[in-house]
Copies of this chain bind each other. A is one copy, B any other.
Amino acid sequence: MSHYTRDFEGILRAAGYRVTPQRIQILDALCDEGGHTSLAAIYLRLQRIDPTIDKSTVYRALKLFVTLGLVVSADNGDGEVYYEIARVQPHHHLVCRQCGQQQEIDHDAIQLMAEAIYQQYGFQVNTDHLMLNGICAGCRLPHQ
């Protein structure tokens, strides 16, 4: 509860939702883990703190947080969905089709695309957390 970068409780209340210990603990878990965290990992961690918390509560909380924009989700393609506290400045990822390596990129990198789409379609792209597939520099060049 000390490491929040935003007023999560205020956002929840402003949207008509209640601040419960379960939700706080889930946000705490996400903050502590830092990077991409699976639901299973969050649940496992909560088990130690409070074994009465139910898995369905975690499912529901994560879904709510994503809807409210407090959390972003990611689907690597490896079947598991990951969650992460939404930063003030969004970021995205490059995922190599060959080696699977992931690389984080800044939101700026997609601004050109957003502008081009706005010009052409009048649509204001405002994407949270893209996973862009492709071939990384290492895999593109044959290792000689």
Complex Cα–Cα for A109 and B126 (A): 15
**Given known A112-B112, A112-B113, A113-B112, contact A121–B103 (CB-CB < 8 A):** yes
In the complex, chain A residues 68-124 whose Cβ is within 8 Å of any chain B Cβ: 75, 94, 96-97, 103, 105, 109-110, 112-114, 116-117, 120-124
Our pick among B120, B126, B128, B134 for the contact of A125 (Cβ within 8 Å) is: B134
Q: Using a Cβ–Cβ cut-off of 8 Å, how many residues does chain A contribute to the interface with B? A: 30
A77 to B34 Cα, complex, angstroms: 24
**CB neighbours of A105 from chain B (8 A):** 117, 120-121
Residue of B nearest to A101 (CB): B123
Q: Which of B75, B127, B133, B134 contacts A132 (CB 8 A)?
A: B127
Interface flag for A15 (CB, 8 Å): no
| Structural contact, B127 and A134, CB atoms closer than 8 A | yes
User: In the assembly, what is the distance between CA of A127 and CA of B77, in Å?
Assistant: 13
Question: Any chain B CB within 8 A of the CB of A137?
Answer: yes
Known contacts A75-B75, A132-B117; A137 and B123 CB within 8 A of each other? yes
Query: Is there an interface contact between A134 and B126, defined as CB atoms closer than 8 Å?
Result: yes
How far is the CB of A29 from the nearest CB of chain B, in Å?
23
